[in-house]
Amino acid sequence: MSKVPHKLNLGDRVTFRKAHACGGNEWEILRVGLDLRLQCSRCGRRILKSRGEFERQVRSIANRTEEDGE
């Protein structure tokens, strides 16, 4: 039984199970593909995560379109 991958868009906000070293726990998606480029909303650090690693560590996803009311 395989998990269905999350539907991700640029600008979505995600939180992970563990907080970043700076204490922030919210990240913005900058690039979507086989790898994901993320930016910490608190310190601005950019990281690259593989899709599999991302799927295991993600706690919640807040889509930008839902927040904007579009």
pLDDT tens figures, 26-46: 999 999 999 999 999 999 999
Residue 53: inside a domain, yes or no?
A: yes
Residue 3: inside a domain, yes or no?
A: no
Our count of domains for the chain comes to 1
Residue 38: inside a domain, yes or no?
A: yes
**Alpha-carbon distance 21 to 18, whole Å?**
9
Low-confidence ranges of the chain (pLDDT < 50): 1, 70
pLDDT value for 30: 96
Model-wide pTM > 0.85: no
Residue 41: inside a domain, yes or no?
A: yes
End-to-end CA distance of the chain: 34
CB 70 within 8 Å of CB 21: no
Residue 29: inside a domain, yes or no?
A: yes
Domain that holds residue 57: 13-63
Annotate 15-51 with b (16+ C-beta within 10 A) or e (fewer): bbeeebeeeebbbbbeeeeeebbbbbbeeeeeeebee
Residue 47: inside a domain, yes or no?
A: yes
Write the CB contacts of 51 (distance below 8 Å, at least 6 apart in sequence).
5, 34, 35, 36
Residue 69: inside a domain, yes or no?
A: no
pLDDT value for 20: 92
pLDDT value for 19: 92
